[in-house]
Amino acid sequence: MKDLLKLLDLSGADIGKILDLADQLKFDAKNGIAQKPLAGKTLAMIFEKNSTRTRVSFETGIYQLGGQGIFLSGTDSQIGRGEPVQDTARVLSRYCDGIMIRTFAQETVEKLAYYADIPVINGLTDFAHPCQVLADLMTIREKFSRLDGLKICYIGDGNNMANSIIVGGLKCNMSVSVACPVGFDPHPGVIAFAGDYAGFKLTRDIREAASGADVVFTDVWASMGQENERELRKSAFSGYCVDGELMKLTNNAMVQHCLPAHRGEEITEEVFEAHASEIFDEAENRLHAQKAVMALTMGNIS
Ligand code: CP
Ligand code: NVA
């Protein structure tokens, strides 16, 4: 695997291989077995948006694998002054062994990967959040010991998380139901991909989406970069909330939220706290899933 740009680029078998290695690396870490496949290697970590989990889990992960992360904020580096992405890609390729980038347009990540000689990992764009959904799939598989045949539902904005959950879930043979308000559907390319799967459903009705679900996902109503739409979105998404009544329609579902969460908007405090252990397992698994991605892209593991 050269890069991780979006889950659309991976097969179900590729995802399975990442999850298997992530499980192994988690087991090793918990049992004090040090794996250092990235000894002496560096990961440039470009952040053009805020982050807590992604930054800390990548920086900790590369350190645990024997390497070193280099944090580059969009504003402090020349990226913020408009240095072209193709030049940044070629410069970082002369120093580093991999690049993780969190930015706005998916095209930026694709262009970076095109010009870079080293692996590029998408740490979130407006279109996709592949590392998060790999961690989510890992967490679901830990709980159910399988992915095949489970029903997942996603309630809320058809954003980067929705796009990645749809693709990841369907590629892993899960059925995926998504409830979004009109005007906030997932990306048309993702809808087109999902159209080939009998297990995919897009509805306006959160009750229909959640009915019989094994896993309930939600995410914020306004993503990073949409702060000026917050008020408009608050009214558009009113009712698209994972609450106790909705949970009663599910198959005693687990709850996943990539965080940060807005209690009282997309999820109630009650549901969040009742499922906190699943949500924080999910956050922890960012570390293990990304270590697997880094080992497979930047290391000599095949
Ligand atoms: N879930 C996630 O990507 O969190 P951060 O924005 O804190 O990195
Ligand atoms: N959809 C959210 C995810 C944050 C991890 C955002 O893009 O802000």
Residues 203 and 205: their CA atoms lie apart, in Å, by 5
Residues 136 and 155: their CA atoms lie apart, in Å, by 15
Which atom of ligand 1 sits closest to the CA of residue 259?
Answer: 1
Which atom of ligand 2 sits closest to the CA of residue 224?
Answer: 8
Distance (Å) from CA 129 to ligand 2 centroid: 8
What pLDDT is recorded for position 118?
A: 98
Per-residue pLDDT in tens (0 to 9) along the chain, 302 residues: 899 999 999 999 999 999 999 999 999 999 999 889 999 999 999 999 999 999 999 999 999 999 999 999 999 999 999 999 999 999 999 999 999 999 999 999 999 999 999 999 999 999 999 999 999 999 999 999 999 999 999 999 999 999 999 999 999 999 999 999 999 999 999 999 999 999 999 999 999 999 999 999 999 999 999 999 999 999 999 999 999 999 999 999 999 999 999 999 999 999 999 999 999 999 999 999 999 999 999 997 76
Check residue 97 and report its DSSP letter.
S
Decide: 258 in ligand 2 pocket, CB within 6 A.
Answer: yes
Instruction: Please list the residues that pair with 152 across neighbouring strands.
Output: 176, 215
Q: Which of 47, 101, 122, 124 to mutate to test the pocket of ligand 1 (most atoms within 8 A of CB)?
A: 124
Decide: 164 in ligand 2 pocket, CB within 6 A.
Answer: no
Q: What is the DSSP string of 217-279?
A: EE--SS-TT-GGGHHHHHHHTTT--B-HHHHHTSSS-EEEE-S---BTTTB-HHHHHHTHHHH
Decide: 151 in ligand 1 pocket, CB within 6 A.
Answer: no
CA–CA–CA angle 133, 138, 144 (5° rounding): 120
Domains in the chain (CATH in brackets) are 7-129+286-298 (3.40.50.1370), 132-282 (3.40.50.1370)
What pLDDT is recorded for position 301?
A: 75
Decide: 220 in ligand 2 pocket, CB within 6 A.
Answer: yes
Distance (Å) from CA 268 to ligand 1 centroid: 20
Instruction: Count CB neighbours of 275 within 10 A.
Output: 20
Both tokens of residue 221? Answer: 């109503």
Decide: 124 in ligand 1 pocket, CB within 6 A.
Answer: yes
Based on the residue annotation, tell me whether 219 is a catalytic residue of this protein: yes
Which of 53, 102, 141, 275 is catalytic? The answer is 102
Q: Report the amino acid identity of residue 176.
A: V
pTM of the predicted model, to two decimals? Answer: 0.98
Based on the residue annotation, tell me whether 286 is a catalytic residue of this protein: yes
Instruction: Count CB neighbours of 86 within 10 A.
Output: 13
